[in-house]
Amino acid sequence: MITALAFSTIEAIERGAWNDCFPDELEDWDYYRAVERSDIVDFQWRYLALFEDDVLIAAAVAFTTAYSLDTTVQGLGKRISQGLRRCWPGLFDVRLYALGSPVAEQCHVGTARHIAVSRRPALLEHLLNLARKDADQSGIGLLAVKDASHRDPQWLQACHDAGLHSMPGLPSAELPITFGSVDAYLGTLGKSTRKDLRRTLRGQGPRIEWRRSVDDQLPRMMQLYEATLERSDLTFERLPPGYFRQVLEHLDNRAACVLYWLGEELVAFNLVLLDEQRLVDKFFAHDLSQTREHNLYVRSWLANVDYCIEHGVTIYACGQAGYANKRRLGCSFTGNTVFFRHRNRLLDSLLRLVKMFIRPDRSDPAMAAAISELQ
CATH of the domain at 37: 3.40.630.30
Claim to verify: residue 37 and residue 68 sit in the same structural domain:
yes
Residue 169: name the closest of 186, 181, 152, 184 by CA: 152
Residue-wise pLDDT for 86-135, tens only, equals 554 444 578 999 999 999 989 989 999 999 999 999 999 999 999 999 99
Number of H helices, E strands in the chain: 14, 15
Claim to verify: residue 242 and residue 317 sit in the same structural domain:
yes
- What's the confidence (pLDDT) of residue 375? 54
What contacts 24+ positions apart, CB below 8 Å, involve 91-94? 92/68, 93/66, 93/67, 93/68, 93/69, 94/66, 94/67, 94/69, 94/142
Claim to verify: residue 135 and residue 253 sit in the same structural domain:
no
Claim to verify: residue 205 and residue 68 sit in the same structural domain:
no
Claim to verify: residue 161 and residue 204 sit in the same structural domain:
no
Claim to verify: residue 197 and residue 123 sit in the same structural domain:
no
Run of H or E residues at 358: helix 345-358
- What's the confidence (pLDDT) of residue 290? 84
Residues of the chain with pLDDT under 50: 76, 80-81, 83-85, 88-91
- The DSSP call for residue 217 is G
Q: Which residues pair with 231 in a beta bridge?
A: none
Collapsing DSSP states into helix, strand and coil, what is residue 100?
Answer: coil
Cβ neighbors of 316 (< 8 A, separation 6 or more) are 174, 175, 176, 177, 278, 279, 281, 304, 305, 308
- What's the confidence (pLDDT) of residue 89? 46
Claim to verify: residue 263 and residue 306 sit in the same structural domain:
yes
What is the count of structural domains for the chain?
A: 2
Claim to verify: residue 269 and residue 281 sit in the same structural domain:
yes
Q: pTM here?
A: 0.90
Claim to verify: residue 358 and residue 227 sit in the same structural domain:
no
Quote the CA–CA distance of 20 and 276 in Å, as a whole number.
Answer: 18
Claim to verify: residue 8 and residue 124 sit in the same structural domain:
yes
Claim to verify: residue 68 and residue 131 sit in the same structural domain:
yes
Residue 244: name the closest of 286, 283, 190 by CA: 283
For the chain, give percent helix, strand, coil, nearest 5.
45, 25, 30
In which domain, by residue range, is 84 found?
2-171+336-373
- What's the confidence (pLDDT) of residue 88? 46
Claim to verify: residue 199 and residue 126 sit in the same structural domain:
no
Collapsing DSSP states into helix, strand and coil, what is residue 14?
Answer: coil
- What's the confidence (pLDDT) of residue 10? 98
- What's the confidence (pLDDT) of residue 355? 74
